[in-house]
Structure formats: structure tokens, C-alpha cells
Copies of this chain bind each other. A is one copy, B any other.
Amino acid sequence: MCGVFGAFSASGNPVLEEVYLGLYALQHRGQESAGVAWIDGENQIRTIKGQGLVHLALNQAELSGIPASSAIGHVRYSTAGGSGLSNVQPLAANYCRGPVAIAHNGNISNASGVRRYLENRGAIFQSTTDTEVILHLMAHQPHKTELDALVDSLRKLKGAFSLAVALKDRLVAARDPWGFRPLALGKRDDVYYISSESCALDLVGAEMIRELDPGEILVIDTDGLHSLRIPVEPRRRYLCSFEFVYFARPDSLIAGQSVYQVRKELGRRLARRSPCSGNCATGMPDSGTIAAMGYAEESGLAYEKAIVRNRYSGRTFIEPTQRVRELGVRKKLNPIRELIKGQSLAVVDDSIVRGTTSRKMVELLRNYGASEIHMRISSPPVRFPCYYGIDTPTREELAAARSNEEALCAEIGADSLAYLTETDLVEAIGLPACEVCTACFSGSYMEDGEKYEELDI
């Protein structure tokens, strides 16, 4: 998964520190690398990129001293292309019409075919990311203005893309016609911001104006905002439901819905559909916490934060050696023995992917003396890989793809296991079913299950 952020000051104020802060607020969307890009006074692209968390990859003090009034940024967790430095975004190029830099959230599902097409016309690719095809599509239309080349490039793409694009004197935001990934527009004083999530607008003190429409291309320059459309008419929308279940921050608004409130509603519906006989409800931190609160509220169980999360973990914890691993170290999560012993627990999590974490936690809770353990999952079973930007494992590795509920319950060792239904999920989100992507639960892909289709450029 990834996050993009952009800022444009019409009156020429420096914005790179705000892009840094925006990326910091979007850190949960990608911890593998971070980068920023802008076009300097001599019309040259400048990029600063690094591996790891934002504060390690980038230097706030350095950025705050750079006089760029328009800039974009990106946090990355690799989904397409490997994790090498050449794949760290924003990607940038000087082509014959000038400089361009792109930050991309999503996954272009026909990128592979487009790349082959372009390479046979002389293109040399520098990265293995899907994003780079946009730069080469633009470069192969040298007779068009940069903006026309960009629009005509985006119409050749399928799949998910929310983009922040830096051109000379302009910042461009774009969202694919299917509306997979969110993208919001904010403003504070003379500065416009674009952000994958509204929480990052809060961080920089901006008001959210609105979210971009699917298929919208929004151009920001010193004259203000100009809106274009990608000339593709999709049959329906595919807003990612997993953003609500797990990915987005609870203080973000997506499609007008509060992620926190959706998540709590998921817990309430789960309690109605799958009650249990426990003494108290607790959540797997942090992703199951809010649904657990909804579950407790609806079911009348006591709510306890019975599992503590080391708040310094994250991507910072490498696997211990075999010898130490066998000791059963509690890397990230540690239950509180006094709250577990002799209790019957409802343990709420947002999803089960490989099943490993659930199995280990159940074992640990039993060791700590839990009498019963009821696993409650605030989404349907994840049975299908995502081709639109979320890093899911292959189908063989997905626990729910290889086992039914009963078998999986036995596998993880719980006393009971229950999921939410797809209908409950869509209703909790509050949008028509034809606007929400549930492909990872249902297998109903935009392209009807085909990952790559014929190239039509």
C-alpha cells in the first residue's frame, strides 16, 4: 500500500516541510520508503528519497530550508516492483517537454502489457514499478502539451491509481475512473493540499474541501483549481472496502464516512450476528480495537485493553534467530496476565490473513490461563488476492482460501470463530453495493478475475 501527498502555494511559500508532515500522517500507508519531489527554479526535477520510516528517509530540517512552492511526496509499501531504491517514489523524468514527477497509490493492472508495448518502441525503463509506464506514455506523445499527454496516458490504464503529479508551475491530482483509492483536497490560506487520507489534512491544519471524483484530473496552478476528466466511462465504481476495515486511519473520512464510526458499526453488527458467552471483549491491537469497543457496547460485555502493544514496534523489529524464536518471544503484543486468567474472552480482530498471528495469540492466551477464547472478525473471510494496491499474499497462503471456518477455527485453536458478512460490511460502510470493491472477499474483480488483459493502446 502507499500514500501520496501534494502541496501548492499560490503565493510562493515553501511547502516541503508540510509535505513532510503530510507523509508523516500517512506513515501507516507505507513504511518501506519515502520520498519527495519538486521542480526547482531552473526547471530541474529534484528528488530526495530514502529507505524506512519518513523521519529516517527524509530530513525535516533540510526540507524546511528548500524554497519549493509546489511539491509532492510518497510513502511506499511495495506491491508492484521490488523494494530497491530505483523503485522508491516519486518517480521523475526529464522528457522533451520538460520535467515531470509522479507519486502513485494503487496498482495499474495492465502495466505489464503497456510496458512491453513501449519497450518495443525504444523505451528504457529504469524501475520495475507499474508507475513508470505513465512517464513513458507521456514521453511518446512529444507533440502534445504535458497536460494533454498526461490525460491521454491515463486513459490507457486499467486498475487503481490515485496520483500526485508535479509539472512545471502546476500540481496535478488524478484518480482512476473506478475510484479504488481515496484522494482528498484541502486548503489552508494560500495553499492547496492533496492527500490520500483526510487525517493528513488535519495534521497540517488544513480544511478538507472535498474528495476527488473517480476519473477526475484536478489541476492546481496560480489561477486556482481546474477540473478535467479521464475520458473513460466505467460501468461501476470500486471503492476499496478494506480501507474501512483495516487500512485507513480512524480519524479519516472516506466517501464522506467516518472510518472510526464505520469500524465501530462493524463491531456492533458482528455482536448482533455472532454473540458469544465471554466475560469481556478485547481487540487485537491496534487494528481490532475499535471494532472490539463496538462489539462490547452491543453485546454488553466489559471492554478491556487486555493485550498490550509495544508502541515502538512497527517495521523496526527483525525476526530473532531460530533459537530465540523458539522461546516464544512476544514481539509486538503482550497480554496482561491478570486480565486473562480464568476469563472467557471475545477477541476481535479486523481480519485473518495467513492465520499465524491468530494462532499464536490464542496459544499465548491459553498459556496465560484464559478459559475460553472466541475469535470475532469484523470483515468477511479474505479469500482472494488484491490486484489494486493492497499487499495480500498468494491464494495458497490465505488461510480462508484453504480452510473453511470450522477448519480454520480448529487450526487457530479457538473455541469459536465468526466472521461478518459481506452485506453487513457494505451496509456499515453506507454506500450502494455497486460502488464498493469487495474483490478480496468475493473474487469479483473489475476485470472479472483476469489480472492482465489485452493492451489497447
Contacts and interface: CB of A to CB of B under 8 A. Distances in A.
B330 A203 contact: yes
Nearest to A296: B303
B324 A21 contact: yes
Contact of A251 (B56, B312, B335): B335
Given A94-B124, A118-B122, A251-B335, 12 more contacts: A17-B324, A21-B329, A28-B312, A53-B312, A56-B316, A64-B320, A93-B126, A94-B125, A119-B142, A122-B139, A203-B331, A260-B336
Interface residues on A, range: 35 or more
Contact of A320 (B60, B123, B312): B60
B27 A338 contact: no
16 contacts: A17-B324, A21-B329, A25-B334, A93-B124, A93-B126, A119-B142, A122-B122, A123-B124, A204-B327, A205-B330, A251-B334, A251-B335, A258-B338, A290-B305, A293-B304, A303-B303
A432 interface: no
A310 interface: yes
Interface string A289-320: 11001000100001111001011111011101
A54 interface: yes
A64 B325 CA distance: 12
A306 to B, nearest CB: 8
Contacts of A286: 311
Contacts of A17: 320-321, 324
Given A24-B317, A124-B93, A205-B328, A199 B338 contact: no
Contacts of A61: 318
Nearest to A189: B327
B55 A334 contact: no
A410 interface: no
Q: Dominant SS at the A interface?
A: mixed
Given A122-B136, A334-B199, A25 B250 contact: no
B21 A320 contact: yes
Contact of A120 (B25, B96, B199, B260): B96
A55 B316 contact: yes
A226 interface: no
Given A28-B311, A60-B318, A120 B94 contact: no
**In this complex, which of A17, A249, A258, A336 has the most chain B Cβ atoms within 10 angstroms of its Cβ?**
A336
A386 to B, nearest CB: 23
A121 interface: yes
A208 to B, nearest CB: 10
Nearest to A258: B338
A441 to B, nearest CB: 26
A435 to B, nearest CB: 21
A312 B27 contact: yes
A312 B199 contact: no
Contacts of A31: 312
Question: 8 tightest A-B contacts by CB?
Answer: A96-B119, A205-B327, A122-B140, A55-B316, A258-B338, A27-B312, A251-B308, A93-B124
Contact of A199 (B94, B308, B331): B308
